[in-house]
Amino acid sequence: MKAIPINAFRFCKITVTLLVWLAFAFQSMPLLVIVFLILGLSALLKIQRAPLIVLYSFTIERIIPSRMKEVHETGLRFAHSLGTVLCAICIALTVLFPTVGWWYVLAFAVLKTVSMLGLCPGEAMYSCYAEGSCSIFKK
């Protein structure tokens, strides 16, 4: 478990979700690539050094501090890795089969929205496998 500012965590979740929805709405490949990079770097660097967490922590968090939140670092790393793979699939499908690809981006946007609301399927999959706790509902 790692402690990160709760507002930085919220900022990260909301920003990524918003970027995916904007990518879908405007059928923007550059936005999908940005999401891919954010998720990939978040998985690679772990949650405390994730790009959006760091951005928020060194800007807004210094002005308006928030309470710390304990997060499951390994579970989030798995979720970010899974999101990176799903985003890569979105990009590949959008390049190869644009109509199918953008429908897949819509599904990815819905999945990211569910994750943003606290029912993260990726983290739940990790918990189910690693800890034997198969519930998507957070305590």
Q: At what angle do helices 73-96 and 121-131 cross, to 10 degrees?
A: 130
CB atoms within 10 A of CB 127: 20
Q: What is the pLDDT of residue 72?
A: 86
Mean pLDDT of the chain: 92
pTM of the model: 0.90
Q: What is the pLDDT of residue 41?
A: 97
Instruction: Find the helix or strand (DSSP H, E) in which 6 lies.
Output: helix 6-26
Per-residue pLDDT tens digits for 54-105: 999 999 999 999 999 998 899 899 999 999 999 999 999 999 999 999 999 9
Q: At what angle do helices 6-26 and 98-116 cross, to 10 degrees?
A: 160
